[in-house]
Structure 1
Amino acid sequence: MHKKIITHLAVLAVSGVFAQGAFAADGTINFTGDIVDAPCSISPNSQNLTVPLGKVSRTAFDGATAGTATVGKKAPAPAKFSIDLLGCGATAKGATVTFSGTADADDATNLRLTNAGQVGVGAASGVAIELDDSAGTKIPLGSASAQYTLGTGDNSLKFQAVYVATKAAVTTGPANATAQFTVAYK
């Protein structure tokens, strides 16, 4: 009887060795994240946003003074975006958002364009990106937005971005920038 059990175990062990090929790794998946002490979670869709500002004619800035958005009938609407908060608890009464990034050399309250001012790179110049709340009130780079009221559950914080002139002369080229954001709960 013991011989029969030992034989069965030996057969199982040998089968397990031959079956290892079925468990070979074909790839790797890395899971990332953090557990934080915050009353809300930031939606994965809001963590890495792309906000298209579109193709804006250089002539939309004709007559604009430094610090003003595109002017006249040629001006496109600001690009709207949101930061979505999920599962906010009862302790989440309000939140502010602070945007950070490389400040424009002529107006440190706005985002500098990537490659702006670098010789031979071909980025647009004389323009920066201004960040506003949903009502169009400017949120200076590095400063907290006005407080958004939060309710229990999911909340969507609305913002917009627009090109602004930083010099009288605007040149053409790619006009991209990158910002980071931090949500502070009240």
Structure 2
Amino acid sequence: MKKISLLALAVAAVMSSGAFAETGTLNFTGNLNTSTCTVAPGGDAGAGAGAGVVDVDMGDVSFSDLSTVAGDGTVSAAFTDIDLGLSCTAATGKTAVVMSFDPQSGSGLDAMDNRLLSLAAGGATGAGIALVDGTNQIIDLGANGEIRAPLTVDGAGVGTADMALRATYVSNGDTQVGGAANASLPFLLTYE
């Protein structure tokens, strides 16, 4: 009996020595909403293999036809139109849709010009992909560039928006080597 009592005291002493830990609190803030949107590609974009996937056919382009980005951020080139029609449920009280991009989860930022989306490894070099808004301004992916569109909400709470952007291959100053010029760019739609 004494052995059990001494063992219990020893265990209690060891456990109480761990009682000198600090305590704290994790505070989480945020907002949940039921707004969801479906994406319907238009322009030169087509529906991809899964929900929310948009395939953009950039075509077969010669390096001699590539544009550059001017000092003011404008791009003049032949563009591939990416018109996305959005239909959003439970959008009452929302006024805009914002499309932000996550290049690091896709092909990455172009090493020569981080405003551009990098082409996938193993293919062409010497260019990147520029996303451009309706005023020919580059959407600077390296600076968390985004595009926004007004959201029109009907009496049933269904919102619609048209996201119009364009894409083009842009020379990045690196050695030009022909090949596949593919890339991927995850995006996120948020509602304001």
User: Same-fold call, TM > 0.5?
Assistant: yes
> Contact 2:149 / 2:162 at 8 angstroms: preserved in 1?
no
| 2:159 matches 1:159 | no
Structure number having the greater strand percentage: 2
What percent identity do the matched residue pairs reach? 24
Determine the structure 2 residue equivalent to 1:23: none
Whichever residue aligns with residue 78 of structure 1, its letter is: F
Pairing of 1:32-181 with structure 2 (within 5 A): 37-43=33-39, 45=47, 47-61=52-66, 67=69, 77-88=78-89, 89-101=91-103, 102-115=108-121, 121=122, 123-141=123-141, 143-152=144-153, 153-167=159-173, 169-181=175-187
Whichever residue aligns with residue 84 of structure 2, its letter is: I
- Alpha-carbon distance, 1:140 to partner: 1.4
- Alpha-carbon distance, 1:58 to partner: 2.0
> Contact 2:134 / 2:164 at 8 angstroms: preserved in 1?
yes
1:74-118 CA distances to partner (integer Å, 9 max, x unpaired)? x5x211113332135231201221122211111112110001xxx
Equivalent pairs, count:
138
Q: Distance in 2 between matches of 1:135 and 1:177?
A: 23
> Alpha carbons of 1:180 and 1:146: their partners in 2 closer, same or farther (altered >3 Å)?
closer
Determine the structure 1 residue equivalent to 2:190: 184
SS at match of 1:59: helix
* Structure 2 unaligned spans of 5+: 1-31, 41-46, 154-158
1:140-182 CA distances to partner (integer Å, 9 max, x unpaired)? 1152424321111322211111111101642211111000001
Q: Which runs of 4+ in 1 moved over 3 A?
A: 67-71
Q: Distance in 1 between matches of 2:99 and 2:75?
A: 25
* Aligned CA-pair RMSD: 2.6
Q: Distance in 1 between matches of 2:88 and 2:175?
A: 47
Whichever residue aligns with residue 53 of structure 2, its letter is: N
Whichever residue aligns with residue 134 of structure 2, its letter is: S
Q: Distance in 1 between matches of 2:34 and 2:82?
A: 22
- Alpha-carbon distance, 1:40 to partner: 4.0
SS at match of 1:147: strand
* Structure 1 unaligned spans of 5+: 1-35, 116-120
> Contact 2:149 / 2:161 at 8 angstroms: preserved in 1?
no
